[in-house]
C-alpha cells in the first residue's frame, strides 16, 4: 500500500490505497517502514511522500473508527516523519484532508499541486484532528485561522493555504518531478526550524480572546454539537501548554469524541449520504444496471410558490424550463418572483449576475398546456387534489411526446392513482420537492407499481444534476417523509389537548436538535394548508368535521388546528398562528396568551383535565411514534434501507445530523426500549392505531442482543 521507490538520492514513498488513499492500518505501517528504511539507506538524502491516483490521503480510514484500534497510530507514524534526519517533503494533490494533512504537517516541507485542496473535515464526523492537527496548524497559521479551518471543516484551496503558510510552494507542472527537484534543493539544510513541534504559536498571548469569540460562534452555529467545542479546547491547549502536554490534551479530547454518540451518528451519516442515492428496485433493477435518459428540457405545471422554486432548480443548472400557469396574472407574478429570488442569490454571492441572466434566458412562461409537447420531463406542481392531478395527467399524456416522463410533485398522493389517468404508467413517477424547493436539499423520488426502471434511473439522475440529495421510495400514502412526520404532528397536537403548550413541545424538540418544532413549522407553511387537506379528505369520505369531532373512522382527532384556521391564524403570513408575530411575514415567534386561552377553553369544552407533560414524554410520543412508522415503512419495502429514511429526515425534515436520523437514533436508544414504549403508548392511546407496534420492530427487539442497523432489513424483513 506504500511503494518505496529510490530515484538517485531521493526516496519516494508512494501511497496506493484507492479510492482516496485513506490512512488505513497497512498505509500507516508502510509509511513508518518507509521512513525508517530511508533513514537507514545511506544513498538516500531526502524523502518525498506522495499519493498515487487522484489524491494525497484524504484522511484516516473512517471505517476503522469504532473498531479495536491497531498500531501504529497515525501520531507515531507522524512523529517518525518529523524526527527523520533527512528532510521529508509531502507533495499534495487532490484533497489532502484530516490525517492526510496531518501527515503533511509532520513533514518538514509541504508543496502542492495548485488545484489541490486541504482541510480538517473531522468536525463533520464529530471528531477533531487527533494526530496533532489542532496543535500543529496554529503554529503555521496563527490561532484565528486555525480555529476557523478546524471548526468549520471547510476545504481550503491551495493558493489560500499558501497564503496562510500551510504550504511552502505551489506546483503547476508534474508534481513528482517538482517534488524531487524541491527535495534536492533542501538537502543539508537545518531541520529544527522546520519541525512544528519546536516552533511556538506566535499569537499565543491572544488565545483567550480568540477562544471566547470562537466559542460563542460555534455554540450559535453548531448548537448542541460537542466536537467544535473540543476542537477549540485543544487549540487553546496548543497556545497555553508545552507541546507534549498539548498533545496529551488533544488525545484525551479526541478519545472523548471518538466514543461519543454524536460521532457514531455523524460517521453513519457520512456513509448514509453515499448509500442513500444508490437505488435498487425489488425487481433487481438498480443504479448499477440501468441507464438514465438524458433530460434536455423540462416543463413545470403550476407557477405557485412550489412550481416557481422547482423551475429555479432546473434553470440554474442550465436546463430550459417552460413554466405553465393557466392565469396570465399569476404567471407574470411568478416570473417576477423568480427574477427576485435569483437576484437575492446574486446578492448572497451564490451566483453571478451573468448566471442569473443566463438562467432567466432559458425560462419561458406559458398559459397553455399544449406548449409542452416537446419537453423530456414534466413536473406537475398544482394543488394537492387527486382529481385535478388526474385530469392534468390525462391531458399531458395526450400532448407530450411518447418518450416524455410525467412526474408529480405530490407530497402524499398515491402515484399509481395518478398513473392510471395515462397510457404510459411506466413513465409516471413522483418527484417530491420540499419547500422552499430551491433551497431544501432533499428530493424524495417515488416509484409506483408500473414505473419503469429507466424512469427511476432518470429521475434519480436528474435529481443529482440539479444538486439534490435524491432518495427513492415506493408509493404509499405520504411516502416516507409525510407519512412518518404525520405522527409527530398528531402527537404534538394531542399533547396540547392533554396539557402542553406549543412552545413546550417546540422547545423540547428543538433542544433535542430538530431545526424547528412542529408548531413553528406549521406557522411557516400556514395552517390553511393542512385545513384544506383535512376538509378535502373529509369531503371524499362524506364526513362533517366540527369542533366537537374527537374521532374520525374510530381514530382520535383533534379539532384544535381547525379552530386556529377559523380564527384566521394561518401562521407567519397573517402574523398569528400557534405563535404571535410582530406583523405578517415577521420571523420571530412569541408565545401568545390568546393561544393558551384557545387551548384551555377547547379542553374545558371537551371535559379534558390538563396535566404536566414531561419532556421525555414529548420526545417519546413525537419521535417513537415516527420511528415505529419507520419500521413499518421498512417492513413494507417503501424504503429499501434505514439510511434512506434517515437521509430523508436529515435533509427534508430538519433532523439533527449529529443524531443520525430517527432510525439511527432508535438504534442508539435500543430497540427493546423503543418497542416497550411503543406498546405502552398503544395501550394508552388505542384510538391512534399508528401506535400498533410494527412487526419488524417487534422481531428485531426480540433478539437477545441488539441487531446492528445495517442488518435490520436483511435479518428480518425477508422472514416477515
Ligand X SMILES: CC/C=C\CC(=O)SCCNC(=O)CCNC(=O)[C@H](O)C(C)(C)COP(=O)(O)OP(=O)(O)OC[C@H]1O[C@@H](n2cnc3c(N)ncnc32)[C@H](O)[C@@H]1OP(=O)(O)O
Among 34, 51, 98, 502, binds ligand X (CB under 6 A): 98
**β-bridge mates for residue 286, sequence order:** 280
User: Which of 22/265 has CB closer to ligand X?
Assistant: 22
Distance in Å, CB of 19 to ligand X, minimum: 5
Q: Which of 14, 79, 82, 102 is catalytic?
A: 102
Are 162 and 115 in contact by the 8 Å Cβ rule? The answer is no
Q: For residue 571, give every residue at least 6 positions away whose Cβ sits within 8 Å of its Cβ, in sequence order, or none.
A: 522, 523, 524, 525, 526, 527, 577, 578
Q: Is 99 in the site for ligand X (CB under 6 A)?
A: yes
Among 34, 87, 130, 518, binds ligand X (CB under 6 A): 130
Are 319 and 298 in contact by the 8 Å Cβ rule? The answer is yes
CB atoms within 10 A of CB 5: 13
User: Which of 121/365 has CB closer to ligand X?
Assistant: 121
Q: Is 92 in the site for ligand X (CB under 6 A)?
A: no
Distance in Å, CB of 594 to ligand X, minimum: 49
User: Which of 62/191 has CB closer to ligand X?
Assistant: 62
Give the span between the Cα atoms of 633 and 654, in whole angstroms: 19
Among 10, 88, 91, 97, binds ligand X (CB under 6 A): 97
By rule CB under 6 A, what count of residues binds ligand X? 23
Q: Is 62 in the site for ligand X (CB under 6 A)?
A: yes
Q: Is 463 in the site for ligand X (CB under 6 A)?
A: no
Give the span between the Cα atoms of 637 and 634, in whole angstroms: 5
Distance in Å, CB of 661 to ligand X, minimum: 17
Q: Is 274 in the site for ligand X (CB under 6 A)?
A: yes
Are 684 and 655 in contact by the 8 Å Cβ rule? The answer is no
Count CA atoms within 13 Å of residue 211 on its CB side.
18
Cβ-defined contacts of 64-68 (< 8 Å, 24+): 64/24, 64/25, 65/125, 65/127, 65/258, 65/263, 65/267, 66/258, 66/264, 66/267
Q: Is 642 in the site for ligand X (CB under 6 A)?
A: no
Give residues 181-240 in contact with ligand X (rule: CB under 6 A): none
Q: Which of 122, 510, 629, 643 is catalytic?
A: 122
Distance in Å, CB of 117 to ligand X, minimum: 8
Among 5, 8, 63, 224, binds ligand X (CB under 6 A): 63
Are 61 and 99 in contact by the 8 Å Cβ rule? The answer is no
CB atoms within 10 A of CB 298: 27
Q: Is 27 in the site for ligand X (CB under 6 A)?
A: no
State the burial class of residue 259 (Cβ atoms within 10 Å of its Cβ: 0-12, 13-18, 19+): exposed
Among 13, 105, 125, 334, binds ligand X (CB under 6 A): 125
CB atoms within 10 A of CB 301: 26
The dihedral through the CA atoms of 98, 103, 108, 109 has a sign that is negative
Q: Catalytic site residue 122?
A: yes
Are 108 and 78 in contact by the 8 Å Cβ rule? The answer is no
Q: Is 265 in the site for ligand X (CB under 6 A)?
A: no
Among 30, 51, 78, 121, binds ligand X (CB under 6 A): 121
3-class SS at 311? helix
Q: Is 68 in the site for ligand X (CB under 6 A)?
A: no
Q: Is 561 in the site for ligand X (CB under 6 A)?
A: no
Q: Is 122 in the site for ligand X (CB under 6 A)?
A: yes
Q: Is 131 in the site for ligand X (CB under 6 A)?
A: yes
Distance in Å, CB of 598 to ligand X, minimum: 49
Q: Catalytic site residue 250?
A: no
User: Which of 99/478 has CB closer to ligand X?
Assistant: 99
Considering only the stretches 55-63, 326-334, 343-351, 367-375, report the one whose residues sit in contact with ligand X under the rule CB under 6 A: 55-63
Q: Is 19 in the site for ligand X (CB under 6 A)?
A: yes
What element of type H or E holds 419?
helix 415-419
Are 441 and 423 in contact by the 8 Å Cβ rule? The answer is no
Considering only the stretches 128-136, 163-171, 303-311, 338-346, report the one whose residues sit in contact with ligand X under the rule CB under 6 A: 128-136
Q: Is 660 in the site for ligand X (CB under 6 A)?
A: no
What stretches of 187-323 show up as alpha helix (H) in DSSP?
Answer: 207-221, 227-240, 243-258, 261-275, 305-315
Give the span between the Cα atoms of 105 and 132, in whole angstroms: 9
Distance in Å, CB of 22 to ligand X, minimum: 4
Distance in Å, CB of 178 to ligand X, minimum: 23
Among 11, 38, 61, 227, binds ligand X (CB under 6 A): 61
| Chain residues in the site for ligand X (CB under 6 A) | 19-20, 22, 58-63, 74, 95, 97-99, 121-122, 125, 127, 129-131, 271, 274
- Residues catalogued as catalytic: 102, 122
Amino acid at each position: 500500500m506504500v511503494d518505496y521507490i529510490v530515484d538517485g538520492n531521493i526516496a519516494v514513498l508512494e501511497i496506493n490505497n484507492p479510492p482516496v488513499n485513506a490512512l488505513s492500518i497497512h498505509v500507516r505501517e508502510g509509511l513508518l517502514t518507509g521512513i525508517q528504511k530511508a533513514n537507514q539507506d545511506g544513498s538516500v538524502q531526502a524523502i518525498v511522500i506522495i499519493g498515487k491516483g487522484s489524491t494525497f490521503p484524504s484522511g484516516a480510514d473512517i471505517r476503522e473508527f469504532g473498531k479495536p484500534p491497531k498500531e501504529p497510530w497515525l501520531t507515531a507514524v507522524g512523529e517518525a516523519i518529523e524526527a527523520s534526519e533527512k528532510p521529508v517533503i509531502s507533495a499534495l494533490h487532490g484533497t489532502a484532508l484530516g490525517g492526510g494533512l496531518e501527515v503533511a504537517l509532520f513533514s518538514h516541507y509541504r508543496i502542492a499541486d495548485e488545484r489541490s485542496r486541504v482541510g480538517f473535515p473531522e468536525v463533520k464526523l464529530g471528531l477533531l484532528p487527533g494526530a496533532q492537527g489542532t496543535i500543529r496548524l496554529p503554529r503555521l497559521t496563527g490561532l484565528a485561522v486555525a480555529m476557523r479551518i478546524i471548526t468549520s471543516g471547510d476545504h481550503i484551496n491551495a493558493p489560500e493555504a499558501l497564503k496562510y503558510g500551510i504550504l511552502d510552494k505551489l506546483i503547476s507542472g508534474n508534481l513528482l518531478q517538482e517534488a524531487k527537484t524541491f527535495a534536492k534543493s533542501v538537502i543539508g539544510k537545518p531541520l529544527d526550524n522546520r519541525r512544528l513541534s519546536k516552533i511556538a504559536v506566535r499569537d499565543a498571548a491572544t488565545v483567550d480572546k480568540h477562544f471566547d469569540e470562537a466559542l460563542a460562534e460555534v455554540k450559535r452555529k453548531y448548537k448542541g454539537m460537542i466536537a467544535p467545542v473540543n476542537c477549540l479546547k485543544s487549540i487553546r491547549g496548543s497556545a497555553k501548554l508545552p507541546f507534549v502536554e498539548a498533545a496529551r490534551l488533544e488525545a484525551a479530547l479526541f478519545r472523548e469524541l471518538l466514543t461519543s454518540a454524536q460521532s457514531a451518528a455523524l460517521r453513519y451519516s457520512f456513509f448514509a449520504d453515499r448509500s442513500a442515492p444508490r437505488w435498487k428496485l425489488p425487481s433487481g433493477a438498480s443504479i448499477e444496471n440501468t441507464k438514465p435518459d438524458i433530460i434536455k428540457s423540462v416543463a413545470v405545471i403550476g407557477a405557485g410558490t412550489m412550481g416557481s422554486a422547482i423551475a429555479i432548480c432546473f434553470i440554474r443548472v442550465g436546463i430550459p424550463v417552460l413554466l405553465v400557469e393557466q392565469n396570465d396574472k399569476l404567471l407574470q407574478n411568478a416570473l417576477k418572483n423568480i427574477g427576485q429570488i435569483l437576484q437575492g442569490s446574486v446578492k448572497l454571492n451564490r451566483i453571478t449576475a451573468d448566471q442569473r441572466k443566463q438562467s432567466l434566458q432559458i425560462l419561458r412562461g406559458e398559459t397553455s398546456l399544449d406548449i409542452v409537447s416537446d419537453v423530456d420531463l414534466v413536473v406537475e406542481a398544482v394543488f394537492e387534489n387527486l382529481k385535478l392531478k388526474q385530469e392534468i395527467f390525462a391531458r399531458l399524456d395526450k400532448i407530450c411526446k411518447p418518450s416524455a416522463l410525467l412526474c408529480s410533485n405530490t407530497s402524499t398522493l398515491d402515484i399509481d392513482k395518478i398513473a392510471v389517468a395515462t397510457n404510459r404508467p411506466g413513465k409516471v413517477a413522483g418527484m417530491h420537492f420540499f419547500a422552499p424547493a430551491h433551497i431544501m436539499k432533499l428530493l424524495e423520488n417515488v416509484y409506483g407499481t408500473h414505473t419503469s426502471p429507466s424512469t427511476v434511473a432518470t429521475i434519480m439522475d436528474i435529481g443529482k444534476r440539479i444538486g439534490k440529495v435524491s432518495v427513492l421510495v415506493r408509493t404509499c400514502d405520504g411516502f416516507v417523509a409525510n407519512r412518518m412526520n404525520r405522527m409527530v404532528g398528531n402527537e404534538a397536537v394531542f399533547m396540547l389537548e392533554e396539557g402542553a403548550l406549543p412552545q413546550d413541545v417546540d422547545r423540547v424538540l428543538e433542544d433535542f436538535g430538530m431545526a424547528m418544532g412542529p408548531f413553528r413549522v406549521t406557522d411557516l407553511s400556514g395552517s390553511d394548508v393542512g385545513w384544506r387537506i383535512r376538509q378535502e379528505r373529509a369531503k371524499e369520505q362524506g364526513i362533517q368535521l366540527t369542533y366537537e369531532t374527537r374521532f374520525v373512522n374510530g381514530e382520535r382527532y383533534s379539532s384544535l388546528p381547525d379552530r386556529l384556521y377559523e380564527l384566521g391564524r394561518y401562521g407567519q403570513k397573517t402574523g398569528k398562528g400557534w405563535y404571535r408575530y410582530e406583523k405578517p411575514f415577521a420571523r420571530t415567534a412569541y408565545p401568545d396568551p390568546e393561544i393558551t386561552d384557545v387551548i384551555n377553553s377547547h379542553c374545558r369544552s371537551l371535559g379534558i383535565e390538563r396535566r404536566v407533560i414531561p419532556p421525555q414524554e414529548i420526545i417519546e410520543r413525537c419521535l417513537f411514534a415516527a420511528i415505529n412508522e419507520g419500521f413499518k415503512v421498512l417492513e413494507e419495502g417503501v424504503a429499501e434501507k434505514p439510511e434512506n429514511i434517515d437521509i430523508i429526515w436529515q435533509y427534508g425534515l430538519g433532523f439533527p445530523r449529529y443524531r443520525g436520523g430517527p432510525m439511527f437514533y432508535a438504534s442508539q436508544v435500543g430497540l427493546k426500549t423503543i418497542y416497550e414504549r411503543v406498546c405502552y403508548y398503544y395501550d394508552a392511546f388505542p384510538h391512534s392505531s399508528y401506535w400498533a407496534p410494527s412487526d419488524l420492530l417487534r422481531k428485531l427487539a426480540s433478539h437477545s442482543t441488539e441487531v446492528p442497523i445495517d442488518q435490520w432489513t436483511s435479518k428480518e424483513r425477508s422472514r416477515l
